[in-house]
Amino acid sequence: MSHSVIPDVMQVPAFAGGGKIYIREKPVPQPGAGELLIQVKANALCGSERWQFYEGTETTPGHETAGVVVARGAETKTPLGTPGVIFLMDFCGTCRSCRLGFTQQCLAKRGDMGFNRDGGYGSYELVHENIFFPIDSALSLTEATLLLDIMGTSGHAIQRAKLIRPDIESILVTGAGPIGLGILAMIHVLLGEHIQVIITDLVDYRLKLAERLGGLPVDLKLYNLQSGLSLCGLASVDIAFDTSGKAAARRAGLDALAQRGVLVCVGHGEGLDLTISPDLIAPERAILGSEYFRYDELPANLGYLHQNRAYLTQLITHRFPIRDVQAAFELFFSGSSGKVVVEQ
């Protein structure tokens, strides 16, 4: 079943490596049983695409995707014309993790959209119906991309921290990239504006955006973390989120924790050296990982996006037409942006 005239081929950005993107043709896929064909309308750039931009890939990247159902295969229920967003991980829905709701921990994952399956920088994307999340038409599809890495990944990390430390008064976020800014924003949404959030970075643009979102920015070009905390009237924090993936940032975050504090590692990357007794046992600290988010967190986040639309959409600082995807990536990796979205 199809909704409109769908071409046989589409123009897609090809990531050649060396920071170069050119346009090539790919066939438009046909949905089989249980599958939907999505006409992509918006896709947000992500730091995890850095290696694709600089090293190249045969796959069409893009994993923060919003679009409209234009064709569907047998055994699907989603009406044609339905707008929605696409969950990154093509989870099976039946393994032990999926049955418990941990769809980001699927034991029989069929793929990762935009990494080993063609993603959202193409005009059309083929997905299993279970990873498509319908939204209402009151939101633009550009705004809807916030439901994914920004709200989903960030909100999930905060919920992970609360498992260990429900009485949160102060928070450190290391790294004011999109996920760090997302955590800052979701702390305000989920925990309230009274929570002190210290956020560190080296890039002036991001520090200013963090301040606009209600954070207490610490410029690491001018201050070390401890002096930055002191300037904000704090000696330690209850929770530290590392979004940078840097060993030094994780170590600084751990050192900043109060007793019973929690370090949540959200950014992939480097390691962390520990001395177990003083770092963990005596202060009863915890270190957690947080990977993406659960599909079943999307309905609540859709509600939060409606309720906090003006605040959260500040995170989208730049929009580009898909023909300017090269310029979008160059700006994004310069650091002088918040979330960047390409639109089709």
Structural domain includes residue 1 = no
Whole-angstrom distance, CA of residue 339 vs CA of residue 344:
17
Per-residue confidence band for 320, with pLDDT thresholds at 50, 70 and 90: very high
Encoded amino acid at 232, one letter: C
Q: What are phi and psi of 18, to 5 degrees?
A: 65, 20
Classify burial at 163, counting beta carbons within 10 Å of its beta carbon; exposed 0-12, middle 13-18, buried 19 or more.
exposed
Query: Among 341, 334, 338, 45, which Cα is nearest to 208's?
Result: 338
Q: What is the pLDDT averaged over residues 7-36?
A: 97
Number of separate domains in the chain: 2
Structural domain includes residue 2 = no
Whole-angstrom distance, CA of residue 26 vs CA of residue 320:
22
- For residue 4, the model assigns a pLDDT of 66
Residues 163, 278: one domain?
yes
Is 60 exceeded by the pLDDT of residue 57?
yes
Encoded amino acid at 171, one letter: I
Specify which residues 174 forms β-bridges with.
Answer: 200, 242
Structural domain includes residue 3 = no
Here the tokens at position 324 are 């300017």
Q: What is the pLDDT of residues 159-206, one digit of tens each?
A: 999 999 999 999 999 999 999 999 999 999 999 999 999 999 999 999
Provide the residue range defining the domain that includes 313. Answer: 9-150+293-343
Residues 136, 66: one domain?
yes
Q: Is 134 helix (H, G, I), strand (E, B) or coil?
A: strand
- For residue 276, the model assigns a pLDDT of 98
Per-residue confidence band for 40, with pLDDT thresholds at 50, 70 and 90: very high
Residues 13, 146: one domain?
yes
Helix (H) or strand (E) segment spanning residue 121:
none
Is 70 exceeded by the pLDDT of residue 334?
yes
Is 60 exceeded by the pLDDT of residue 2?
no
Whole-angstrom distance, CA of residue 74 vs CA of residue 32:
7
Q: Domain end: 273, 289, 305, which one? A: 289
Q: What is the pLDDT of residues 41-50, one digit of tens each?
A: 999 999 999 9
Per-residue confidence band for 319, with pLDDT thresholds at 50, 70 and 90: very high
Is 80 exceeded by the pLDDT of residue 18?
yes
- For residue 163, the model assigns a pLDDT of 97
Residues 190, 308: one domain?
no
Structural domain includes residue 34 = yes
Please tell me what DSSP assigns to residue 29: P
The pTM for the full model equals: 0.96
Please identify which residue in the block is written with the tokens 């064909």. 37
Residues 29, 138: one domain?
yes
Residues 240, 313: one domain?
no
Per-residue confidence band for 3, with pLDDT thresholds at 50, 70 and 90: low
Q: What is the pLDDT of residues 4-16, one digit of tens each?
A: 689 999 999 999 9
Residues 24, 126: one domain?
yes
Encoded amino acid at 77, one letter: K
Residues 169, 251: one domain?
yes
**Domain harbouring 135, CATH code:** 3.90.180.10
Residues 285, 250: one domain?
yes
- For residue 160, the model assigns a pLDDT of 98
Is 90 exceeded by the pLDDT of residue 339?
yes
Within 10 angstroms of residue 198's Cβ, the number of other Cβ atoms is 24
Residues 74, 104: one domain?
yes
Whole-angstrom distance, CA of residue 282 vs CA of residue 267:
26
Structural domain includes residue 232 = yes
Q: What is the pLDDT averaged over residues 269-279?
A: 97
Structural domain includes residue 179 = yes
Residues 117, 88: one domain?
yes
Contact status, residue 298 vs residue 291, Cβ threshold 8 Å: no
- For residue 34, the model assigns a pLDDT of 98
Q: What is the mean pLDDT of the chain?
A: 97
Q: What is the pLDDT averaged over residues 141-153?
A: 98
Q: Domain end: 289, 309, 324, which one? A: 289
Is 90 exceeded by the pLDDT of residue 30?
yes
- For residue 1, the model assigns a pLDDT of 61
Per-residue confidence band for 253, with pLDDT thresholds at 50, 70 and 90: very high
**Domain harbouring 174, CATH code:** 3.40.50.720
Residues 281, 307: one domain?
no
